[in-house]
Amino acid sequence: MKKNKGIVVLIVSVLVLAFLIFTAGVGLGPTGTGSARNINLGLDLSGGVSITYQTVNKNPSQDDMDDTVYKLQKRVEEYSTEAQAYQEGDNRINVEIPGVTDANSILEDLGKPGSLVFQDEDGNVVLEGSDIASAEGVVGQDETTKSNEYVVTLSMTEEGTQKFAEATANNVGKTISIVYDGEVISSPQVRQAITGGQAQIDGMDSIEEAKELASFIRIGGLKLELQELRSNVVAAQLGQEAISTSLVAAAIGLALVILFMVAVYRVPGVAASLALLTYVALVLITLNAFDITLTLPGVAGIILGIGMAVDANVIIYARIQEEIAAGISVRSAIKSGFQKAFSAIFDGNITTLIASFVLMWLGSGTVKGFAYTLAIGIIFSMFTALVVSRLLLNALFAIGVRDEKFYGKAKERKTIDFLGKRKIFFIVSIVVILCVPVGMFAFHASTGKALNYGLDFQGGTSTNVTFPEEMSMDDIDANVVPIIEDITGDPNVQATKVVDSAQVIFKTQELDLETRNELDETLAEKFDVDKDLIQAESISSTISGEMRRDAIVAVIVAAVFMLIYIWFRFKDIRFAGSAVLALIHDVLFVLAFYVLARVSVGNTFIACMLTILGYSINATIVIFDRIRENLHGANRHPDLKEIVNMSITQTLTRSIYTSLTTFIMVVLLFIMGVSSIREFAAPLMVGILCGAYSSVCITGALWYVMKTRKEKVKK
């Protein structure tokens, strides 16, 4: 009976996996619903729409420009979490929205950024557009008739809440008109005083009308009035060849990970491989289903998810092998392995999931996009490891795969005295961490830049070049970009091609007049470009000060929530404290790499740092979980040093295997990718190695030092 059930489970599992892979690869129906090719990709991977606005006021203040850029950034993030808004010259703002190809529809939907005010019946301005925090067109329900009604929901700023409360209190029974660019676009009646900062405008005939009004209100809340200067559909910043080689690298990496799992864990490795393929298919389908824009930082989230999916299986199967080595039957070992591995998997994943939710809540742009893909990856990695893998393994056992040789047996490992070498580890870590301030000071003194800030952080020059004939992105990457990099000394030139034209926009570090002239002369000489058609403008950073602030706040809040969760789960503040210290340690290690290797600090910097945080905390939780378990099994006066050393030794295989499989994925991207992908992969490689080092050599030692010092104080 059990054998037949096992056969049914295997057949159903294989059919479901085949369906998921087919859906992710080919899709369903004529439009290919669910296919990975329909995933919204960022400007770096698929292109999109680029719109340039110019302020009506020719001499706006920098404060007003910064405020307008930030608010416009928030507006365009409604189209894509990876949309960007940044300043060009003194009075222009560029907006780049990935994954769309119809500039006109975006312009129509986004609206003309003009002036918006709220006026009473006497024509007095009672509220300005900048007092509105958000406006959304939604479908509501009439409380009396229960029929649908179309409304605009408004949220006010703190100052706007006070203004609106006073205005509505003074105008009950009257109308307050919404005036956009001098034209009344709506005149809702005030039924009562509104003091909570939330309001609704009803009376719309359709959801389209409600959304249009909401769009006018949102875009009219900018400090500066803008007018459209130009709009273009732009191609992917990475050529098709670059994207193809990256996909091949990812596929090869996944195949190597699967082979590794099968070779090391045998039958459980087969189950893990099928679960891993299920994970990848589910992630791709979900990205499509929820219209999440995928960029290189998003790829980091997926890679981290794959690492955590592998990690969960490694923890489970290592436990199974330990149980078999202890003389337990295979059936009992499978059951016990999943039970004992659950707490480490659950706590590690939940801790990282908490961080991703905080980043979604408080982050913006790249941070938010990374958080979405990370959360999806975590959820599916837990599901595939704890549910899919378990079903498959039990089914394989049920059909007769029961000999322990198919599962492996953990070798007895002599406990390694990691704590005995803790002073050496601490000294090594301190020396590397000190490289951060020393290196930053030295480079700032010699070059004027503590870090090698890229365009995304410090801005630069945008050069619009019209070639005699249209070129492909692969040709541009191969033939033009290297020449520009050589002239400008910038190894991270970003090229964006305007679709159906010979125009290409090159973004570089800030160029002086002499370098600009040399660039113009070289392009004219080598590519027969008309110098008179070359246009160059200074551009601001795409990651504004406000976005950096949002990212820092999000990371700090995420760290606090992780600390609270670990404290709650482990009932010991020292576990939480040492975990957070280990996170800081890993971040500083990777920052040291950025300082010394002069890797460009650009758009992927934040994503790399966040990936390291997620990866590191998971490794730390695994060791802490084993320490907790061994403490519970010890006598009343345990030898803490022995327990910590034993716990680290017992989880050493997991630390090595998980780091190795994740490292394989990233190193292949580094070897086969173009310069921008290598720049993204290199810090991740360092972070993975650092995470392995800190989890084995630092975290347990930190906890031990905190624990023993408290006990010494008590004595």
What's the pLDDT band for 698 if we cut at 50, 70, 90? very high
Average pLDDT, integer, range 573-584: 88
Superfamily of domain 2-7+238-405: Multidrug efflux transporter AcrB transmembrane domain (1.20.1640.10)
Between helix 675-697 and helix 240-265 the angle, nearest 10°, is 30
Average pLDDT, integer, range 338-346: 89
| pLDDT score for 417 | 92
**Nearest-5° Cα angle at 693, 688 to 695:** 95
How far is 593 from 597, CA to CA, in rounded Å?
Answer: 6
pLDDT tens per residue, range 492-505 = 788 888 877 888 88
Please determine, for residue 413, whether its predicted confidence score (pLDDT) is greater than 70.
yes
Please determine, for residue 222, whether its predicted confidence score (pLDDT) is greater than 90.
no
Please determine, for residue 645, whether its predicted confidence score (pLDDT) is greater than 90.
yes
End-to-end CA distance of the chain: 63
Give the best-scoring range by mean pLDDT among 476-485, 534-543, 706-715: 476-485
pLDDT tens per residue, range 82-138 = 677 888 878 888 888 876 666 666 666 665 666 788 899 888 888 888 788 878 888
The three-class DSSP label of residue 72 is helix
Range of lowest pLDDT (32-36, 236-240, 258-262): 236-240
How far is 356 from 361, CA to CA, in rounded Å?
Answer: 9
pLDDT tens per residue, range 146-163 = 677 888 888 888 888 998
Please determine, for residue 426, whether its predicted confidence score (pLDDT) is greater than 60.
yes
How far is 493 from 481, CA to CA, in rounded Å?
Answer: 7
Neighbours of 533 (CB within 10 A): 12
Average pLDDT, integer, range 63-78: 78
Q: Name the CATH code of domain 114-221 (choices 3.40.50.2300, 3.30.70.1150, 3.30.1360.200, 3.40.50.2020).
A: 3.30.1360.200
Average pLDDT, integer, range 686-696: 88
Phi, psi of 51 (to 5 degrees): -120, 135
Instruction: Look at residues 346, 344, 311, 304 and name the one whose alpha carbon lies nearest to residue 614.
Output: 304
Handedness of CA 337, 343, 349, 353 (dihedral sign): positive
Query: Is 419-434+544-714 CATH 1.20.1640.10?
Result: yes
Same fold, 114-221 and 419-434+544-714: no
How far is 552 from 363, CA to CA, in rounded Å?
Answer: 9
Average pLDDT value for the chain: 82
pLDDT tens per residue, range 197-215 = 888 888 888 888 888 888 7
Average pLDDT, integer, range 678-695: 85
Question: Do residues 60 and 89 touch, judged by C-beta distance below 8 A?
Answer: no
What's the pLDDT band for 237 if we cut at 50, 70, 90? low
Please determine, for residue 295, whether its predicted confidence score (pLDDT) is greater than 90.
no
| pLDDT score for 226 | 77
Q: Taking the CA of residue 572 as centre, how many other CA atoms within 13 Å lie in the half-sphere pointing to its CB?
A: 15
Domain spans in the chain, listed from the N-terminal domain onward: 2-7+238-405, 114-221, 419-434+544-714, 461-539
| pLDDT score for 97 | 80
What's the pLDDT band for 402 if we cut at 50, 70, 90? confident
| pLDDT score for 366 | 65
| pLDDT score for 436 | 92
CATH tag, 461-539: 3.30.70
Phi, psi of 227 (to 5 degrees): -130, 145
| pLDDT score for 131 | 83
Residue 117, strand partner residues: 128, 179
Task: State the DSSP string of 621-645.
Answer: HHHHHHHHHHHHTS-SS--HHHHHH
How far is 526 from 503, CA to CA, in rounded Å?
Answer: 16
Please determine, for residue 144, whether its predicted confidence score (pLDDT) is greater than 80.
no
pLDDT tens per residue, range 549-565 = 777 787 788 888 888 88
Please determine, for residue 429, whether its predicted confidence score (pLDDT) is greater than 90.
yes
The three-class DSSP label of residue 546 is helix
Contact residues for 288 (Cβ-Cβ < 8 A; gap 6+): 33, 34, 35, 36, 38, 39
Instruction: Look at residues 689, 520, 519, 542 and name the one whose alpha carbon lies nearest to residue 604.
Output: 542
